[in-house]
Copies of this chain bind each other. A is one copy, B any other.
Amino acid sequence: MYDRKVIYDILDEAMLCHLAIAIDGEPFVLPTIHTRLGDKLYLHGSNQNRLYKKIADGATAWLSITILEGLVLARSGLHHSMNYRSVVLFAKGEKVEDREEKRHVLEALVEQNVPGRWEDSRQPTEQELNATTVTAFPIDDASAKVRNCPPIETNADRELPIWAGVVPIKLCAQEPITETAGLDVPIPAYVCDYEKLPKVSLS
């Protein structure tokens, strides 16, 4: 699927992205976080990171973003599957040099996962900004793949007296763990009432 709405929804919901590039003909892959602003996907990293240096030098990147949504249990062993939504993006990255764009991306990287957090945080210093590389990838050559259905089986298999169906799965948040030792700072509402993920209590 090449629908921008489908692709952008996946990019905006996902908390994790895998970045792959080839160096001297060998593949490298790195898990990282991402954010989308308009028609660009942004990553950040240390100035020392080898992958971002290679991307700045012109290496093409493959980005893969996958959200698992269900275990699909077919009657036949080989037809078991997963429900998921995923995007792959093939792009050359460009180092963001503009100060304001860089600040804006760093804000969005935090807001992507914890909406409301950036304003409360201590803002980056010039020195911190200089030590961080932000890279922009145009979202032009991207596609989405979505599987969101029951098991797909032959008619013969559908007659077998075996249970079949889907176990939906999703990321959930648990109760926050406060680190603020000795300081009387209440848990902010955007953490208490964290809405990006459903809440689960584990005994």
Contact = CB atoms under 8 A, between A and B. Distances in A.
B151 A163 contact: no
A163 B150 contact: no
Contacts of A124: 76-78
Given A27-B61, A122-B157, A166-B179, A78 B20 contact: no
Q: How many copies does the complex hold?
A: 2
Contacts of A120: 162-163
Given A171-B171, A180-B164, A122 B27 contact: no
A: contact size bracket:
35 or more
A142 interface: no
Nearest to A63: B29
Interface of A: 15-16, 18, 20-22, 25-31, 33, 60-64, 66, 68, 71, 73-78, 80, 82, 84, 86, 88, 106-107, 109-110, 113-114, 117-118, 120-124, 128, 132, 150-151, 157, 160-180, 183, 185-188, 191, 194, 197-198, 200, 202
